[in-house]
């Protein structure tokens, strides 16, 4: 850690000197014109973060219909974003120090005119994008100490200055000349994905056309997880009331043990744990089949919203208005509870079952699921 901090400080001093000796000048009149021929959009953190960047990407495409637009993402999620219609190519690039200099050299060879940093890690993102040689580099929030490299070093805006994460991405695109668009996320789901999912489900005795409720018990941070015991209780109640229902438990390979434990707890053959079993490329098609998905503040929640699936979203640590469903609000049910700890330890929550999430009762979630099921397929 000390070595990384020293390296960061040396990079900061070097870039300060480089920027002072040879400040990069760009004509703002070029923005929104064919003078911008090559664009890089950076969103290389989690699945949900990258999905929330797709409206910003669309804004750029509307403004630059003939430009070559590349999207840099975490390569682990390439299957989900490779077919985005607003990107001409997808570049793998993690948001950390590993491979930093090779990434810089690769970007320099690509000769981008403009970079939009929609969502990435600092202190790596701003230096990397400036060192790419692009004439314009835009990012919000612009609070980190490398902001002197940005084309928008001021006014300084923080996360709290944006109503929703999607609004922050759209604001970055607007700085770069992007055209107005709505908050709707882009997630193409092809016929091949749907067919392959159907075959995958049939092999596991899930009938074609079966009503499916999804459970997403895992989350990127422990504090966003509803207790496994409550998922078990909810699953038993739903299956007792709806004999025709199937429950799928989604999750990453790292969440397989959690999904399997919940399935065992429910103890019913109508429950299918898919974590670690379902190929990632089929996850959007599976979520499209669910009605609803019961989930915390997770990437699969955003995938479900983008796929047009109703969600029952459970929030306590975060404010759903900032990171929850951002459109089609009449289709979704959000259960928001307040934080119980002051200060909130968030990623370092000390409780095995976070007490803020314990405020969300099984009765309330069951009622929300029942409401969605009663609506039927839209």
For residue 1, the model assigns a pLDDT of: 54
For residue 126, the model assigns a pLDDT of: 97
Give backbone dihedrals phi and psi of 38, rounded to 5 degrees, phi first.
Answer: -135, 125
Split at pLDDT 50, 70, 90, the class of 50 is: very high
Q: What long-range pairs does 102-107 form, CB within 8 A, spacing at least 24? A: 103/128, 104/128, 104/131, 104/132, 107/40, 107/131, 107/132, 107/133
For residue 356, the model assigns a pLDDT of: 87
Q: What gap in Å lies between CA 167 and CA 326, rounded to an integer?
A: 9
For residue 377, the model assigns a pLDDT of: 55
What's the full length of the chain, in residues? 378
| Helix pair angle (299-306, 47-63), 10° resolution | 40
Q: What is the mean pLDDT of residues 249-266?
A: 97
Residue labelled with tokens 């084309």? 151
Split at pLDDT 50, 70, 90, the class of 353 is: confident
**In the chain, how long is the greatest CA-to-CA distance?**
72
Q: What is the mean pLDDT of residues 208-212?
A: 91
Q: Residue 139: which H helix or E strand, with range?
A: strand 136-139
Q: Are 5 and 145 in contact (CB under 8 A)?
A: no
Strands of 89-92's sheet in order across = 89-92, 68-73, 38-43, 114-119, 136-139
Q: Which residues contact 23 (CB under 8 A, 6 or more apart)?
A: none
Tell me 88's DSSP state: S
Is the pLDDT at 158 greater than 90, yes or no? yes
Structure token pair of residue 110:
């690509």
C-alpha radius of gyration, the chain, whole number: 22
For residue 297, the model assigns a pLDDT of: 94
- What's the burial of 117, exposed, middle or buried (CB within 10 Å: 0-12/13-18/19+)? buried
For residue 4, the model assigns a pLDDT of: 60
Ordered alpha helix ranges (H), the chain: 2-21, 47-63, 78-81, 100-110, 125-131, 165-175, 191-202, 228-241, 256-266, 283-289, 299-306, 320-323, 362-375
Q: What is the dihedral of CA 172, 176, 178, 183, to 10 degrees?
A: -10
69 forms bridges with which residues in the sheet? 39
Split at pLDDT 50, 70, 90, the class of 279 is: very high
Is the pLDDT at 367 greater than 80, yes or no? yes
Per-residue pLDDT of 119-149, as tens digits, reads: 999 999 999 999 999 999 999 999 999 999 9
Q: Are 272 and 206 in contact (CB under 8 A)?
A: yes
Q: What is the dihedral of CA 352, 355, 359, 361, to 10 degrees?
A: 20
Q: What gap in Å lies between CA 24 and CA 39, rounded to an integer?
A: 17
Is the pLDDT at 287 greater than 90, yes or no? yes
Is the pLDDT at 346 greater than 80, yes or no? no
The whole-chain average pLDDT of the chain stands at: 94
Split at pLDDT 50, 70, 90, the class of 378 is: very low
Split at pLDDT 50, 70, 90, the class of 24 is: confident
Per-residue pLDDT of 288-343, as tens digits, reads: 999 999 999 999 999 999 999 999 999 998 899 999 999 999 999 999 998 878 77
Q: Are 107 and 128 in contact (CB under 8 A)?
A: yes
Q: Which residues contact 245 (CB under 8 A, 6 or more apart)?
A: 210, 211, 212, 213, 238, 239, 270
Q: Residue 158: which H helix or E strand, with range?
A: none
Q: What is the mean pLDDT of residues 175-189?
A: 98
For residue 223, the model assigns a pLDDT of: 83
Q: What gap in Å lies between CA 26 and CA 230, rounded to an integer?
A: 56
């Amino acid at each position: 850690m000390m070595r990384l901090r020293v390296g960061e400080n040396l990079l900061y001093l070097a870039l300060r000197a480089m920027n002072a000796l040879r400040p990069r000048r760009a004509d703002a009149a070029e923005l929104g014109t064919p003078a911008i021929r090559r664009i890089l959009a950076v969103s290389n953190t989690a699945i949900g973060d990258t999905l929330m960047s797709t409206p910003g990407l669309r804004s750029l495409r509307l403004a630059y219909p003939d430009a070559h637009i590349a999207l840099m993402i975490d390569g682990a999620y390439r299957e989900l974003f490779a077919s985005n219609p607003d990107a001409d190519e997808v570049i793998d690039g993690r948001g950390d120090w590993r491979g930093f200099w090779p990434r810089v050299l690769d970007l320099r060879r690509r000769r981008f005119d403009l970079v939009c940093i929609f969502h990435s890690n600092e202190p790596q993102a701003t230096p990397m994008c400036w060192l790419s040689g692009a004439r314009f580099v835009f990012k919000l929030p612009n609070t980190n100490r490398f902001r002197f490299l940005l084309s928008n070093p001021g006014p300084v805006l923080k996360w709290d200055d944006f109503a929703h994460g999607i609004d922050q991405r759209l604001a970055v695109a607007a700085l770069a000349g992007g055209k107005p668009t709505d908050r709707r996320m882009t997630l193409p789901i092809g016929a091949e994905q749907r067919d392959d999912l159907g075959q995958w489900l049939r092999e596991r005795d899930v009938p074609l056309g079966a009503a499916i409720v999804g459970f997403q018990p895992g989350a990127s941070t422990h504090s966003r997880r509803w207790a496994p015991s409550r998922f078990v209780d909810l699953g038993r109640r739903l299956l007792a009331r709806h004999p025709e229902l199937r429950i799928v438990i989604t999750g990453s390979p790292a969440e397989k043990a959690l999904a399997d434990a919940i399935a065992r707890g429910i103890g019913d053959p109508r429950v299918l744990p898919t974590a670690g079993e379902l190929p990632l490329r089929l996850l959007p098609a599976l979520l499209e089949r669910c009605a609803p998905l019961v989930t915390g503040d997770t990437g699969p929640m955003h995938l479900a919203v983008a796929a047009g699936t109703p969600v029952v979203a459970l929030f306590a640590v975060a404010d759903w208005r900032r990171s929850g469903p951002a459109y089609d609000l009449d289709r979704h049910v959000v259960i928001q509870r307040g934080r119980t700890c002051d200060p909130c330890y968030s990623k370092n929550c000390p409780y095995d079952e976070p007490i803020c999430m314990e405020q969300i009762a099984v009765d309330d979630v069951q009622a929300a699921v029942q409401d969605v099921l009663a609506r039927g397929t839209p």
